[in-house]
Amino acid sequence: MPILAITAVIAAWCSHQYWMRLGDEKSDWGQRFWPWAIQGLIFPSLMFAIFNIGFGQSLPALVPQIVEAQRSGAPWANLWAFWSFTGLALVTFYWGAVTYCWMLVRIVLQAEDRVETLLVVGFFALFTFTIAGFLVYLAGWKYVGPGVCFALLPIVHFTIEMAEKPFKYATYGKAIAHLKRGKVEDAEWEVISQLEKVENDFEGWMLLAEMYARDYRNMEDAARVILDVCKQPDVQQIQISIACHKLADWQLEIAENPVGARAALELLCRKLPGTHFAHMAQQRIRQIPSTCEEFDEAKKGRKIRLQPLREETDHPQRSEPVSRSEAAAEANRLCVKLSADPNDIPAREKLALVLGEKLGKIDMAVEQLTLLGELEASEEQKAKWLAQIASWEFNRDKDAGNFQNALRKIIREYPQTSHAFAAQRRLYLLEMKFVEEKAATASR
């Protein structure tokens, strides 16, 4: 009995494992196992156990030994448990035999070469059924179910690989080699052929888009590929973010099209609203010029010039010669731009420069940089704005105490920035200057 129970459990477990290996994403084969097990294994075993209890003379137990024990008044609970487990084991074997037959049919249908599969099945069946028939002959015909089950199990085991579809994967080494040799068209066809094997391979689509952008200089096709990637149902959020940022890079570096770059990042914001990726994209959008004219102006190297913490502060740094009317017009243009997007960091930074250095309105310039400090920016940027405020106020008020306090604030709040090191240097020079002046006064 223990050996029979153990072998029944092994047969049932193997049937489940092999059943699941035959499933695929396009069918509900895997989901059909448990209904099949309940109908063909659990339900019949449960009915056999219930009817072996016996319900009087009209419906006695199915096993004669239990009937005799009940009629003689002897204890029959152990007999009922023994025959219930025995029935469960036998039902398991018969159910397993039918299950293996069903799986063999599916193996033959799914195999690429059905003739070869049938030959393999016949070859193994010749040996396994011969051995199983001999064992059944010795043990008795009631063990036909276990015999057939164990005859079919090795056949399923050695033929199931013929029905399993190999895992498809794409490789782009050959395409990259073509690119290095300048064979762009060959590389394109190689990437496309690999994508035909694995349609949703993110790496392949990105390589194809980059080829369109860098090698063909065809930004429309590159953008179309990125859009298709973002529409794929199983695409991940990080992949959408990478794709959109890559498209923005190509628009800026290759096409020199800031409008297209902003559109790529706006696509990311629409695809992933409210996420960290959308938030980072919005921050990058603020850094990109909104028009091609502004982008061309930025390429000329006309950077926003904010004063560093210079060691000589007695003579303020002069700005480029410009009329006051031109500076006022530029300030008005920047104000209009900021009314449309108050978080445009480059525009607000440039407005502070115009107000502070070209129009001499230090208080208004300081207010603009203070507003910038409330936005999300890097520590280097915030330290630069504090340094600019300190420099402007010191040049205007000549208050060494307030200037030193501002320097200490930069060192305390942004210790790892370049402006913090410059502030330390400036404090040291101020202290040395103070010591020299004190020594000169004492010598007099």
pLDDT digits (tens, 9 = 90+) for 74-95: 888 888 888 888 888 888 988 9
Residue-level pLDDT at 314: 43
Of 189 and 164, the structure prediction assigns the larger pLDDT to 189
> What pLDDT sits at residue 244?
93
* Overall fold of domain 173-299: 1.25.40
Tens of pLDDT, residues 208-246: 999 999 999 999 999 999 999 999 888 999 999 999 999
* Mean pLDDT in residue range 366-382: 83
CATH of 324-443, one of 1.10.3720.10, 1.25.40.10, 3.50.30.10, 3.30.450.40: 1.25.40.10
The Cα–Cα gap between 6 and 1 comes to 9
- pLDDT for 442 equals 66
Per residue in 298-335, pLDDT (tens digit) is 665 444 444 556 544 444 444 445 578 888 888 888 88
Distance, CA of 172 to CA of 193 (rounded, Å): 10
Any idea what the Cα angle at residue 285 is, between residues 328 and 266, rounded to 5°? 130
Which of 6-20, 127-141, 146-160, 163-177 is the least confident region? 163-177
Range from 266-270, 344-348, 351-355 that averages highest in pLDDT: 266-270
Q: Mind listing the pLDDT tens digit for each residue in 61-78? A: 888 888 888 888 888 888
pLDDT value at position 189? Answer: 93
What is the three-class DSSP state of 399? coil
The pLDDT assigned to 443 comes to 65
Burial pattern 268-289, b for ≥16 Cβ within 10 A else e, equals bbebbeeeebbebbeeebbebb
Which regions of the chain carry the CATH code 1.25.40.10? 173-299, 324-443
Query: Scanning the structure block, which residue is given the tokens 């010749």?
Result: 126
Residue whose pair of structure tokens reads 């028009």 in the numeric block: 291
Q: Going by C-beta distance under 8 Å and a sequence separation of 6 or more, which residues neighbour residue 304?
A: 346, 349, 350, 353
Q: Which of 197, 198, 178 is nearest to 188 (CA)?
A: 178
Percentage of the residues of the chain whose pLDDT score is greater than 90: 17
Instruction: Using only the alpha carbons of the chain, give its radius of gyration.
Output: 41
**Does position 436 have pLDDT exceeding 80, yes or no?**
no
Number of helical (H) and strand (E) elements in the chain, helices listed first: 21, 0
Determine contact, residues 362/283, Cβ cutoff 8 Å: no
**What pLDDT score was predicted for residue 418?**
82
Token pair recorded at residue 431: 């202290």
Decide which of 92 and 440 is more confident: 92
* Percent above pLDDT 70 for the chain: 90
pLDDT interval class at 269 (50, 70, 90): very high
What does the DSSP assignment read for 407-432? HHHHHHH-TTSHHHHHHHHHHHHHHH
From the list 9, 79, 68, the residue with the least C-alpha distance to 41 is 9
The pLDDT assigned to 207 comes to 92
For 391, list phi and psi in degrees, rounded to 5.
-65, -45
Pick the range with the lowest mean pLDDT from 99-103, 249-253, 285-289: 285-289
Query: Coil, strand, or helix at residue 55?
Result: strand
The chain-wide mean pLDDT, for the chain, equals: 83
Contact status, residue 195 vs residue 138, Cβ threshold 8 Å:
no
Q: Give the integer Cα–Cα distance in Å for 74 and 310.
A: 108
Mean pLDDT of 271-279: 90
Q: Which of 143, 158, 22 has the alpha carbon at shortest distance from 89?
A: 143
**C-alpha–C-alpha distance, residues 70 and 55, integer Å:** 11
What per-residue string of b and e applies to 50-89 under the rule 16 or more CB within 10 Å gives b?
eebebeeeeebbbbeebbebbeeeeebeebbeebbbbbbb
Give 340 or 151, the one with higher predicted confidence: 151
Position 166, amino acid: P
Nearest C-alpha neighbor of 308 from the set 203, 232, 417: 417
pLDDT score for 205: 92
What pLDDT, on the 0 to 100 scale, is given for residue 304? 43
How confident is the model at residue 1, as a pLDDT?
59
